[in-house]
Amino acid sequence: MRVAVVGHVEWVEFLRVEEMPAPGDIIHVSDFWEEPAGGGPGAAAQLRKLAGSCTFFTALGDDELGHRALEDLRRLGLTVHTSWRDAPQRRAVTFIDARGERAITIVGERLHPRADDPLPWDDLESRDAVYYTAGDDEALRRARRARTLVCTTRILEQLQRVGAQIDAVVGSDVDESERYETGNLQPTPHVAVLTRGREGGRFSVDGGEWRTFPATPLPGPVVDSYGAGDSFAAGLAYGLAALGDPERAIELAARCGAAVLTGRGPYAGQLTAPDP
């Protein structure tokens, strides 16, 4: 399996607290760490663990945090192709409470790869699966050359504008920015999947009737929920390319999402040994 991700990066500061701050609160942090994260790296790292390797196409700020991000992404085992932007690296602050719930504050402009960046775009043609979170319109068209293309519903307007046939769209059914309904895209994606956290989710094949799927039992206690959706999307992309069957792909994706909940941050709990 040859897989890739096209997307963006945030440098994330994680703060573990007993409960989310309310106006006027002064709260204490019990754990703090920072690392590159967001939809692109989280999915790329999960795909690497499923497929053995993963190539990540992105753009980074040409500053200290951007260069630190590149070093850390490579330490995750990713093959990274990046273009440098004369802009600050996008950042985020993430609070994680005692229940594992997270709240994210974004700082800065999203930096994404463009088709006119000097990146090996032709390499995408040989990929079995690509997960796409961010890029310009032509970058999306380049990504479409892969055998299987899965996109986040967060880029619905771009998908509508480009009008490419997508193998799957995936998002959260409880996040307004990720909602999707049949008819939102033409041509209709072959598979649409919307997650509902502990309630599982729903899916539709070729625009047909929506069906539900159950949540996967957790393999351990919840540590935090950051990155669960990104790993779910990566598992879906891998499963569609490797297994072919949407229901089996969703089952694998749900296992990937559940595994992340049991680890600190987006990477520690990720699934590494999928069943064929």
Q: What does the pLDDT read at residue 198?
A: 86
CA–CA separation, 173 and 179 (whole Å): 6
CA–CA separation, 96 and 77 (whole Å): 26
Q: How many residues does the chain have?
A: 276
Residue 248: HSE in the Cβ half-sphere, 13 Å Cα cutoff: 11
Q: What does the pLDDT read at residue 273?
A: 66
* Residues ≥6 apart with Cβ < 8 Å to 209: none
Q: Output the six-digit token pair for 273.
A: 């040994």
Q: Output the six-digit token pair for 177.
A: 């920015």
Closest C-alpha to 78, from 60, 95, 58: 58
pLDDT, one tens digit for every residue, the chain (276 residues): 999 999 999 999 999 999 999 999 999 999 999 999 999 999 999 999 999 999 999 999 999 999 999 999 999 999 999 999 999 999 999 999 999 999 999 999 999 999 999 999 999 999 999 999 999 999 999 999 999 999 999 999 999 999 999 999 999 999 888 989 999 999 999 999 999 988 999 999 999 999 999 999 999 999 999 999 999 999 999 999 999 999 999 999 999 999 999 999 999 999 986 544
Q: Output the six-digit token pair for 89.
A: 């690296």
Q: What does the pLDDT read at residue 274?
A: 55
- pTM value? 0.95
Q: Which domains does the chain have, with CATH numbers?
A: 3-20+29-260 (3.40.1190.20)
